[in-house]
Amino acid sequence: MRNFLLPGLYKLAFALAVGLLLFWSLGPIYWAVVTSLTPPKDMLTSSLSLWPQQPTLEHYAKLFGASSLSQGNQVQSVWPQFRAAFFNSLVTSVAATLVTVCIAAFGGYAFVRLKFPGRDVLFGLLVASMAVPAYTVMIPLYRLMISLGLIDTYLGVTLIYVSAFLPLALWLMRSVYQSLPVSLEEAAWLDGAGRTYTLVRIVLPLATPGLIASAILTFLSAWGQFMVPLVFSPTLATKPLTVLIPEFVTRNYVDYGLMNAAGVVAMLPPVLLVIFLNRFLVRGLIAGATK
């Protein structure tokens, strides 16, 4: 009887754990969607509702171009600011991802296959830099950006992102290259292929899952940054969504519906990126071996 009950208890515990994890992960997203569809007058009620009785797109209308009267206050559309911030987030996140992945692809290979003085020490220092809290270098970094004239510029924000996310990408790609057999490269060298050709045509296709993982991690980290752009992007010239959305809080009231509508829209690019890149994971596993 005991042996019969144990598998059922394990399955029940596993189901409860999965349900709790899904609730913890998807609960805030669901509540943001619900709040973005709730009329402003219903947000003042004390009763808790899991779905609005009269869903509205009023908050999305204000976000994308309409102005309306909310809680006795004339609320103008925030579309011009939202559009600029969305573009800023996209530019800096994509630029940081491309630069980080390119450097990690070649740098990680160099740390594994090439021998040069201080290789292990240099890599250890790069990895150790991930343990340095960002706020400890914020002031000297700010002075450096001012001296270089890179405050409130795409280049300055992108360079900060690359310096912050590159160590993790290098560590990941180094681990990927270490797991790849050297025999494939040696076979290509015997056929007369150079090291660069071997890396680009044989090694990188095999390392595609690692490259995709690095790209996803870098993009998500850059897209969700708040402290760095808060300091280095003071105007709409480079201000991203993470800094703009909290500014929807005015002196008279807090437009929770508008903030959550903007948050829901801001979640779409990372979700679409992950869905798109996951299609290439399996393809990358077999592409290099067929070259």
Computed over every residue of the chain, the mean pLDDT equals 85
The per-residue pLDDT for 76 is: 64
Does residue 291 belong to any structural domain of this protein?
A: no
Neighbours of 167 (CB within 10 A): 20
The answer, as to whether pTM is greater than 0.75, is yes
In single-letter form, the type of residue at position 215 comes to A
pLDDT band at residue 251 using 50, 70 and 90 as cut-offs? low
Q: What is the number of structural domains in the chain? A: 1
CA distance 247 to 16: 39
pLDDT band at residue 289 using 50, 70 and 90 as cut-offs? very low
pLDDT band at residue 73 using 50, 70 and 90 as cut-offs? low
Q: Which residues contact 76 (CB under 8 A, 6 or more apart)?
A: 67
Distance of CA 121 to the CA centre of its chain: 29
The per-residue pLDDT for 288 is: 43
pLDDT band at residue 290 using 50, 70 and 90 as cut-offs? very low
The per-residue pLDDT for 287 is: 46
Does residue 212 belong to any structural domain of this protein?
A: yes
Among 19-28, 51-60, 95-104, 174-183, the range with the most confident prediction by mean pLDDT is 95-104
pLDDT band at residue 4 using 50, 70 and 90 as cut-offs? low
CA distance 187 to 226: 48
Does residue 176 belong to any structural domain of this protein?
A: yes
Per-residue pLDDT tens for 175-227? Answer: 999 988 888 888 888 877 788 888 888 898 888 889 998 999 999 999 999 99
Domain that residue 136 falls in: 83-246
Does residue 223 belong to any structural domain of this protein?
A: yes
Ranking 68-72, 218-222, 232-236 by mean pLDDT, the lowest is: 68-72
Does residue 206 belong to any structural domain of this protein?
A: yes
Q: With a cut of 90, say whether residue 68 has pLDDT above it.
A: no
Q: With a cut of 70, say whether residue 159 has pLDDT above it.
A: yes
Percent of the chain exceeding pLDDT 70 equals 88
Q: Residue 179: phi, psi to the nearest 5?
A: -85, -10
User: What value does the mean pLDDT take over residues 225-247?
Assistant: 92
User: What value does the mean pLDDT take over residues 118-141?
Assistant: 89
Does residue 61 belong to any structural domain of this protein?
A: no
Q: With a cut of 70, say whether residue 80 has pLDDT above it.
A: yes
User: What value does the mean pLDDT take over residues 124-139?
Assistant: 88
- Specify the higher pLDDT residue, 91 or 51: 91
Q: What is the CATH number of the domain that holds 199?
A: 1.10.3720.10
User: Residue 275 to residues 266, 272, 279, 287: CA-CA distances in angstroms?
Assistant: 16, 5, 7, 20
User: Residue 273 to residues 82, 90, 264: CA-CA distances in angstroms?
Assistant: 20, 12, 15
Neighbours of 156 (CB within 10 A): 22
The per-residue pLDDT for 54 is: 84
Does residue 285 belong to any structural domain of this protein?
A: no
Cα angle for residues 167, 168, 172 (degrees, 5° grid): 115
Q: With a cut of 70, say whether residue 71 has pLDDT above it.
A: no
CA distance 253 to 121: 54
Per-residue pLDDT tens for 11-50? Answer: 888 889 988 988 898 888 999 999 888 888 777 776 767 8
Does residue 97 belong to any structural domain of this protein?
A: yes
The per-residue pLDDT for 59 is: 86
